[in-house]
Amino acid sequence: MLYDESKPSIEAYLRADRSAVEAIDRALDSCGRTFEEIRSVLDFGCGHGRVLRQLRPRLPRARVDTCDLDGSAARFCAAEFRAKAIVSNADVTRVRLGRYDLIWVGSVFTHLDRVGIDALLRKLGQALEPSGILCFSVHGEFSASNLTHLYGGHYREEAQAIHREFLDHGIAFRPYEGYTTEPGRAYGMTWLARGYVEGRIDELFRGAVVLRRFDPQGWDGHHDVLAAQAVGTRA
């Protein structure tokens, strides 16, 4: 996200862009794929193209879909980066997706509850082509253990409790004030451990999708980045 038009803000924005593409490149390598062979891509939670801005040039011949709850953002990305816009839905089961060699999900699982995480993992895993890759970011150990000063200190008072939940259960979630707490539609801040994510992938896909890479602080020194791959036939 671009917070303002100052030079430091623009530099941070571009650094995060580059870092995401580098993380995707490492994920592809771990899955035995390259940018050159990717023919279909979904940027889920595309925003206004923070990552796609630098990802698109690496995929000049690929079909690209952009998806976001903010329809204007998805349509902006479609117009800017030769893509097709898909408007998302709070109920992800209602979103119509294609099939993809690569799905990038930057900072979406970072805001969902348990039910929402399972629903989105299932939806995106089922949208993978054979050998397709789901690459996504999460708030991990770095985030969970530094809450006294991250995020403007908003979670300072709960820092110890959140970190304990993260360590004990592999997941901690705090809904944002004023948002629904309905399971599967709650929105807030989420911290996920590698073991929790891998366990959910195993449970949901029974070997049809497997975790291939875990990249701690792989996105801009903050988010962990994970890559899961469809094995053989479609998940």
Q: Delimit the domains of the chain by residue range.
A: 7-230
Provide the strand spans (E) within 48-165: 63-68, 84-87, 100-105, 128-138
Secondary-structure class of domain 7-230 per CATH: alpha beta
Q: How do residues 63-88 score in pLDDT, each as one tens digit? A: 999 999 999 999 999 999 999 999 99
Q: How do residues 92-146 score in pLDDT, each as one tens digit? A: 999 999 999 999 999 999 999 999 999 999 999 999 999 999 999 999 999 999 9
pLDDT value, residue 15: 83
Give the global pTM: 0.95
Distance in angstroms (rounded) separating the CA atoms of residues 197 and 145 = 18
Distance in angstroms (rounded) separating the CA atoms of residues 140 and 158 = 16
